[in-house]
Amino acid sequence: MPTALINGARINYVQVESEESRDDLVMVHGLATSLAFWYLPYTSVFAQRYRVTVFDLRGHGRSELTEGGYSPQAQAADLEGLMDHLGIERAHFIAHSFGGVVTLGLARRSPHRVASLVLADTQVSATRHMPVESTPHSRLIQSLLDSNGIDLDVQSEFFGYDLLTKVAEMVTRSEELPEDLLELLGPQLGKHPRRTAKRWLDLVDRGHNELLADDGLTPAVLRSFRFPVLAMYGDRSRARTTGEYLHSLWPQSDFLTVPNAGHFFPSSRSTEVIAACDAFWDAQLDVATQVA
């Protein structure tokens, strides 16, 4: 796979296109995963209309694990640097979880470079301290954790990050994971769970404070964005609080709740995500045609 030297780090990327590809689409994964999160089946489908770029965030996948540079702002600079390297002046984006924070950080730096954004279950700093409604699903997860002696609180502001780290520690110690927990974090662990877990723990060791740093996405910054947005949130996800918050800031944007879905629904509900993205992009084309 090709790499590019961006802000002192080797960044791994892949581009997929077809004869029908027109504009650029960049897909950004979340914490503890890699470009593989989006690669199948999305890239081959979306390449029928876009040149698709997927890449590994700094310290993830096959990108370089550096001593620093993991804050949302630094990774937004990496994303812009990769776009510069690839000659992408402006692109459509699909971003999951932390990848959405990175992409919104790019929009904060250079809003003209974002043509549209599909935001999948992203949580921003401004909502971390907001109370999260207790649901049957969250209570089920808490019960699962308690029964297996895992000392975590599902209401904690950094629950997802802490859960990833705790599970990674268990995997590296070869501890047996509860089946329900495996189902919950399956997309994170991938086909090589021990390697993935070790990589995450190495990243946490180097970048803990930066990864949890404030993203700078204040209400004023978020309200300033003018590009079309489709925000998709799982109705069982803790991040849905951010979805409700963003909806209050972007009433003109499209919001979609994915029923019976958790944080990683793009992995298990790809058909629905693809259909929603196609409908969103088609609507933007219709608007552009009417304006022209």
pLDDT given at position 260: 92
C-alpha span between 284 and 148 (Å, rounded):
48
Least confident span in 42-51, 82-91, 133-142, 268-277: 133-142
pLDDT in tens, 238-269: 899 899 999 999 999 999 999 999 899 999 99
pLDDT given at position 141: 86
- What percent of the chain is predicted at pLDDT more than 90? 73
Instruction: State how beta strands 229-234 and 114-120 pair.
Output: parallel
Q: Are 59 and 66 in contact (CB under 8 A)?
A: yes
C-alpha span between 79 and 239 (Å, rounded):
23
pLDDT given at position 22: 82
pLDDT given at position 223: 96
Only one residue has tokens 């979880």, namely 97
pLDDT given at position 133: 75
Q: Are 126 and 101 in contact (CB under 8 A)?
A: no
pLDDT in tens, 9-26: 999 999 999 887 789 999
Give yes or no for residue 291 having a pLDDT over 60: no
Closest residue by Cα to residue 153 from 124, 171, 131: 131
Domain with CATH 3.40.50.1820 in the chain: 3-130+214-291
> For all residues of the chain together, what is the average pLDDT?
92
Only one residue has tokens 């401004």, namely 126
pLDDT given at position 20: 77
Give yes or no for residue 55 having a pLDDT over 90: yes
pLDDT given at position 187: 57
Give yes or no for residue 172 having a pLDDT over 70: yes
**Confidence tier at 81 by pLDDT (50, 70, 90):** very high
Q: Which CATH entry fits the domain spanning 3-130+214-291: 3.30.365.10, 3.30.1490.190, 3.30.300.20, 3.40.50.1820?
A: 3.40.50.1820
Mean pLDDT of 130-137: 78
- What percent of the chain is predicted at pLDDT more than 70? 94
